[in-house]
């Protein structure tokens, strides 16, 4: 069981929450669920409905489509964020690589948080914008072919 200080520290690392006041994050973390899964556990599968974001407290998770690994997520990082912003099916699967502990934030909890503290919506927009810029930079780094 994580203390409220530990919860605060883990959630503070998530970019969409890092600029929020501690008192708000403490209220938010108090409603988040703590989860534990063994190694090689499928947290969710591509195509499934999802409504949760996960913050890794300990362990490592593989995000993948079939056998193709997209990323590894370790302590202090998060994944599954797209599911809390829209109602589309999961775009990838998530499987633990070792025993893991998580904090889970559901879509309903996030929407309640946005109602209470609208600044979180601005942080979300900023973080998604940064992600799009990184993806654009990755595409632009690839050498273009001459015509």
Name the nearest CA neighbour of 52 among 128, 103, 127, 122: 103
User: Cα 5 to the chain's mean position, in Å?
Assistant: 20
Residues 131-143: pLDDT tens digits?
788 888 888 876 5
pLDDT of residue 147: 47
Q: Which domain holds residue 123?
A: 4-141
Count of domains for the chain: 1
pTM, to two decimals = 0.81
Kindly report, residue by residue over 106-138, the tens digit of the pLDDT. 999 888 888 888 877 887 788 778 878 888 888
What pLDDT is recorded for position 142? Answer: 60
* 71 and 63 Cβ atoms separated by less than 8 Å: yes
Whether pLDDT at 83 is above 80: yes
Beta bridge partners of residue 57, listed in sequence order: none
Q: What is the mean pLDDT of residues 43-65?
A: 95
pLDDT reported for residue 49: 92
Classify residue 146: in a domain, yes or no: no
CATH of the domain at 127: 2.60.120.10
């Amino acid at each position: 069981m994580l203390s409220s200080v530990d919860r605060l520290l883990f959630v503070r690392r998530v970019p969409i929450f890092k600029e929020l006041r501690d008192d708000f994050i403490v209220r938010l973390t108090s409603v988040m669920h703590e989860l534990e899964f063994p190694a090689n556990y499928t947290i969710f599968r591509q195509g499934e409905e999802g409504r949760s974001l996960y913050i890794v407290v300990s362990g490592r998770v593989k995000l993948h489509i079939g056998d193709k690994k997209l990323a590894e997520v370790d302590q202090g990082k998060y994944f599954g964020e797209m599911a809390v912003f829209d109602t589309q099916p999961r775009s990838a699967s998530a499987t633990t690589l070792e025993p893991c502990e998580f904090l889970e934030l559901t879509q309903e909890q996030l929407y309640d948080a946005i109602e209470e503290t609208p600044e979180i919506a601005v942080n979300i927009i900023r973080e998604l914008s940064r992600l799009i810029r990184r993806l654009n930079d990755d595409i632009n780094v690839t050498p273009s072919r001459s015509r």
